[in-house]
Chains A and B, each alone.
Chain A
Amino acid sequence: MEIISVRNLKKVYENIVAVDDISFCVEEGEVFGLLGPNGAGKTSTINMLTGLARPTGGKITIAGIDAIKNIKKVQGIIGVVPDENNLYDEMNGFDNLCFCGSLYGMSGEEREKKAAELLEQFNLTAAGQRPFRTYSKGMKRKLTIAAGIMHNPRMLFLDEPTTGIDVESARKIRELILNLKKQGKTILLTTHYIEEAERICDRIAIIVNGKIVKTGTVAELMASVKAEYKLKLVLGSSIVEIKAELEEKFPCCRVEIPDKNTCLLIAGERINLSPVFQLLDRKGIPVYEAKEIQPSFEDVFVKITGLARSLK
């Protein structure tokens, strides 16, 4: 079931087009990622979805509610974790969570119980009575996420959840996000980390210069880019001397020699290896290893965003 629907959304700040006519939808219970480089328009999009910015044009529907006309109604069912930790430095972790709960009308007893539960879930119980300013970056990030789900929202908007924190804390936060997904929460997150999007998102929209250039699952995105087949051969002796002959015999292939015993055959379609092996055998060059090299999601991302830039 579609829970977030964005149609032709646009945001212009003075003369700068931050978000340029984007459309996408998010299904209930999925983790949807907006992946793009810095300044691509991810935060502007989240700000418009959550009521921190007013769209210049377009339509946003969240859980069937027009989010532009009734943003306060929407804010009651969503949780937001901004790109910067914005809790109160002077207050301790427990009080910060209780305060956030109170903004959503939770009773005193209810919010104290929930705050204690979340501190335990996020391994922050020991730090719960310490002022927020004394927390490490990773702890601050975790508490900010906890504050976002304090009122048990149906949807969670996470803006760059792991930016600026160490690898271990980032890994824990990714686990937390996947746990929230297991609990049935719908999550929309922005990130510029390709690996993060690949690992935790069910679907990804790649956004560049305010435009969504591709949307789909990781597999769909990878398939969408015209593939190049790349074959790596590890040989027993140098192939430099027969490079020209190889290219002549197999005109559909490009031959690259990264080092004298390794050869890369690159083609637009699958490469039939038998004639290649026969030629090498005739030349007395033993083949120790043959491996097809799959493009990584990063290659695909670079290709998609590169294509988008060249289109501009």
Chain B
Amino acid sequence: MIAFTAFRSILQKDVNTYYLKPPNISWGIIFPLSWTLMQYIRSQGSLEIIELLPGLMAMSVLFGTTSMLAVTITFERRSRSFDRLLLAPISLSTLILAKLAGAVVFGMVNAFIPVVFAAFLAELGGINWAAVTIAVFLIAATSALMGLLIAVSAREVFEAQTFSNFFRFPMLFLCGLFIPLESLPRFLRPLAFCLPLTYGTDVLNGAIGNHSLFTANFNFLMMLLLGALLFYLCLCSIKRKWIL
């Protein structure tokens, strides 16, 4: 009961204090919108918006979740308000899940902004929405966990932002969004298969564009396994670095 009340309060506090602030709302809308427009204009009509949609959704969710969680946690660590959470009689897992929940919701909302935009330009009836929603949720969760790992290593907010980009951009090029996995140099492929985003993008490609490398279930399983590994790494890092 304590865990549930605390979880709900932390989530509610994060949403009200960070995610519903005008700068973050505008970031959440403008970023996916500008990526959508940029890709659409760049393709000069040779690509259908629906072909761009998996990549745009994956990017929106990745950028939304990693940056927000890394920055908000580093900010709370700096102001020491995070200590208040560490002093509460709730497990570290509950605390991490509560902090992740806000970022996941924010990332999922981000992901569906290109969908709203695309709905005006294309027929979206053939999309497997159940698979898309699960994939977006899992991409958001794994990206948020990566944001948390970054936050554990960063002392300042600017460090968190720099670290985030250090991971995000290589991931974008390795996950099959811009360069198909089969065209990647052979030595980079194992790295691509270690990224949860690779499997998330593959589900989105399958659910929206009907072309995927693996089955949706395999992709979900891989994302769950990588998510569990990231969660475990986050727990260990927090115990080691934050409870000195």
Question: Within the assembled complex, what's the spacing in Å between the Cα atoms of A54 and B92?
Answer: 15
Question: Within the assembled complex, what's the spacing in Å between the Cα atoms of A90 and B22?
Answer: 14
Say which residue of B17, B79, B80, B88 sits within 8 Å of A103 (CB atoms): B88
Is B34 close to A, CB under 8 A? no
Contact with B along A43-56 (1 / 0, CB 8 A): 00001001111100
Question: Within the assembled complex, what's the spacing in Å between the Cα atoms of A104 and B80?
Answer: 19
Is A82 close to B, CB under 8 A? yes
Which chain A residue shows the least CB distance to B81? A86
CB-based contact A50/B87 at 8 Å: yes
Question: Within the assembled complex, what's the spacing in Å between the Cα atoms of A303 and B243?
Answer: 36
With A53-B243, A102-B9 in contact, do A75 and B81 touch (Cβ < 8 Å)? Answer: no
Q: What's the least CB distance linking A131 to chain B, in Å?
A: 11
Which chain A residue shows the least CB distance to B9? A102
CB-based contact A54/B243 at 8 Å: yes
Question: Within the assembled complex, what's the spacing in Å between the Cα atoms of A1 and B83?
Answer: 30
Q: What's the least CB distance linking A167 to chain B, in Å?
A: 25
Question: Within the assembled complex, what's the spacing in Å between the Cα atoms of A146 and B13?
Answer: 19
User: How many residues of chain A get a CB closer than 8 Å to chain B's CBs?
Assistant: 29
Say which residue of A51, A89, A147 sits within 8 Å of B86 (CB atoms): A51
Q: Which residues of A contact B1 (CB under 8 A)?
A: 105
Q: Pick the most buried of B9, B85, B89, B90: most chain A CB atoms within 10 A of its CB.
A: B89
CB-based contact A105/B84 at 8 Å: no
Question: Within the assembled complex, what's the spacing in Å between the Cα atoms of A5 and B204?
Answer: 58
Q: Which residues of A contact B183 (CB under 8 A)?
A: none
Q: Which residues of A contact B86 (CB under 8 A)?
A: 51-52
A-B contact count (CB 8 A): 69
Question: Within the assembled complex, what's the spacing in Å between the Cα atoms of A75 and B86?
Answer: 10
Q: Which residues of B contact A50 (CB under 8 A)?
A: 87
Q: What's the least CB distance linking A56 to chain B, in Å?
A: 10
Say which residue of B9, B81, B84, B89 sits within 8 Å of A76 (CB atoms): B89
CB-based contact B87/A80 at 8 Å: yes
Is B244 close to A, CB under 8 A? yes
Question: Within the assembled complex, what's the spacing in Å between the Cα atoms of A80 and B17?
Answer: 23
Question: Within the assembled complex, what's the spacing in Å between the Cα atoms of A47 and B87?
Answer: 10
Q: What's the least CB distance linking A53 to chain B, in Å?
A: 5
Say which residue of B10, B17, B244 sits within 8 Å of A53 (CB atoms): B244
A-B residue pairs in contact (CB < 8 Å), sample of 5: A52-B87, A53-B244, A76-B89, A105-B2, A106-B5
Complex A-B, nearest 10 residue pairs according to Cβ-Cβ distance, in ascending order: A105-B2, A102-B9, A76-B89, A103-B88, A86-B80, A75-B89, A86-B81, A103-B6, A105-B5, A90-B17
| 19 further contact pairs, Cβ within 8 A, besides A54-B244, A76-B2, A147-B84 | A51-B243, A52-B87, A52-B244, A54-B243, A72-B89, A75-B89, A82-B80, A86-B80, A90-B17, A102-B5, A102-B6, A102-B9, A103-B10, A104-B88, A104-B89, A105-B1, A105-B2, A105-B6, A106-B5
